[in-house]
Amino acid sequence: MKNIGILGGGQLGRMLLQAAANYPVQTFLMENDDHCPAAHLCHHFIKGDIKNFEDVYNFGKNLDAITIEIESVNVDALEKLESEGVKIYPKPAALKLIKNKILQKQFYKLNEIPTSEFIITQHAAELKEHINFLPAVHKIGEGGYDGKGVQLLKTKEDITKAFDEPAILEKLVTIKKEIAVIIGVADNGENALYPSIDMVFDQRLNLLDYQLSPADLSDKVLWKVEAIALKVVKDLKSPGIFAVELFVDMDDNVLVNETAPRVHNSGHHTIEANYSSQFDMLWRIILGYPLGNTQPILGAAIVNLIGEENYTGNAHYEGLEEILKIDNVFVHIYGKTQTKPGRKMGHVTILSNEKQELIHQANRIKHTLFVKTV
Ligand SMILES: Nc1ncnc2c1ncn2[C@@H]1O[C@H](COP(=O)(O)OP(=O)(O)OP(=O)(O)O)[C@@H](O)[C@H]1O
Ligand SMILES: [Mg+2]
């Protein structure tokens, strides 16, 4: 039986371990907090810092393969492990490129992958030289997540909000739709593409609001989206699972926003809605089994369960019983004991082939189910 490690024990690690239970595999998990969402689901929990070289190297040296649930891991340790024969999903070279938004944008440019125009900045003071480039979005090179580390700069007055660290200044795209495409890539380069997903955002929190699968796109735009997402993954030259986030602008141009080299929030519906989920797919890839079937069984929507404003403390899920009475609805609570405003606490998947029914139930859930405190 293979020994496989996961770096990071949040909800992605948790759902990955739920899928691992179906396969002959020994799982190892490293995370700082032994009460993290994934801790009780692995065979072997190792307490450690995923950003620390020694910790990651010692964790990995006797394993057959390692995967990640978050990009902020020690890539140098993964490179050393790879050179000693441990398989890493994604490859450290691909992870290094993606982890830093500056390198990631340069990678798109170098490979002629459409993406919004950009300028690299080192300090906030440089922004005054780029007033003509506004409106734009300033993004820190490393360490951003869930929209933190992303700042909209509309006018020259906004440049006081710029980041004083290496960052990219991207032209603001007038977005018609945000789309995500998940693709699994096997060791031999064979790939499996999931139907694209419509992501609808909450402007206020910059956090995902709800999403629909499959995305409602014309054939022509869908074709562009899939071709571009496949090119990103092909050029990354790494096995693993990838989520490519794209913008469709008002003229139906398709631009890559960013890529995640791991299982992704936009693919959680695949647990119930597709024959092989993104988590199942990653195990098939790591264990060297045939790729799974990405076809949808039914259309789906996902609503994220986010910690309510003004509630910090032991989580309580108000309205849960009412939601569980709906027969095409599936609840996933991530097992985080503490809630705080904006924290991702779970998600709800709705299944239906009717887009109107998906939107109706998504809104019903958003008005019924709340994460508050006991
Ligand atoms: N160039 C752009 N033009 C217009 N809107 C943008 C641009 N870049 C980012 N955004 C908006 O900001 C959101 C967050 O940006 P991005 O995905 O780069 O950040 P992130 O912190 O990695 O977010 P997450 O972890 O949620 O994916 C995007 O989903 C999009 O709505
Ligand atoms: Mg994003």
The amino acid at residue 292 is G
Q: Is the pLDDT of residue 40 over 70?
A: yes
Interval 226-256: pLDDT, tens: 999 999 999 999 999 999 999 999 999 999 9
Interval 318-331: pLDDT, tens: 999 999 999 999 99
The amino acid at residue 83 is S
What residue spans in the chain does CATH classification 3.30.470.20 cover? Answer: 175-373
| Position in ligand 1 atom list of the atom nearest CA 172 | 3
Q: Is the pLDDT of residue 204 over 70?
A: no
| Position in ligand 1 atom list of the atom nearest CA 148 | 21
| CA distance to 54, 310, 315, 317, 370, per residue, from 374 (Å) | 40, 13, 6, 9, 12
Output the CATH code of domain 2-89. Answer: 3.40.50.20
Q: Report the distance separating Cα 56 and Cα 75, nearest Å.
A: 9
Backbone angles phi, psi at 190, to 5 degrees: -60, 145
Q: Is the pLDDT of residue 205 over 80?
A: no
> What pLDDT is recorded for position 202?
61
* pLDDT band (50, 70, 90) for residue 139: very high
DSSP assignment of 51-105, as one string?
T-HHHHHHHHTT-SEEEESSS-S-HHHHHHHHHTT-EEES-HHHHHHHHSHHHHH
Contact 257, 178 (CB under 8 A): yes
What residue spans in the chain does CATH classification 3.40.50.20 cover? Answer: 2-89
* pLDDT band (50, 70, 90) for residue 208: low
The class of domain 117-171 in CATH terms is alpha beta
Specify the residue with its C-alpha closest to ligand 1, atom 8.
137
| Position in ligand 1 atom list of the atom nearest CA 199 | 29
Q: Report the distance separating Cα 202 and Cα 137, nearest Å.
A: 17
Specify the residue with its C-alpha closest to ligand 1, atom 24.
146
Ligand nearest to the CA of 178: 1
As a whole number of angstroms, the longest Cα–Cα distance in the chain is 60
Rg (CA), the chain: 20
Q: Report the distance separating Cα 284 and Cα 123, nearest Å.
A: 44
> What pLDDT is recorded for position 203?
61
Taking alpha carbons only, the member of 3, 123, 11 closest to residue 63 is 3
- Tokens in use for 369? 């189910």
**Quick check: pTM over 0.85?**
yes
Overall fold of domain 175-373: D-amino Acid Aminotransferase; Chain A, domain 1 (3.30.470)
Taking alpha carbons only, the member of 79, 74, 104, 109 closest to residue 92 is 79
> What pLDDT is recorded for position 258?
97
What residue spans in the chain does CATH classification 3.30.1490.20 cover? Answer: 117-171
Q: How far is the CA of 274 from the centre of ligand 1 (A)?
A: 26
Ligand nearest to the CA of 201: 1
Ligand nearest to the CA of 202: 1
Helix (H, G, I), strand (E, B) or coil at 192: strand
Ligand 2 (ion): residues with CB under 5 Å are: 245
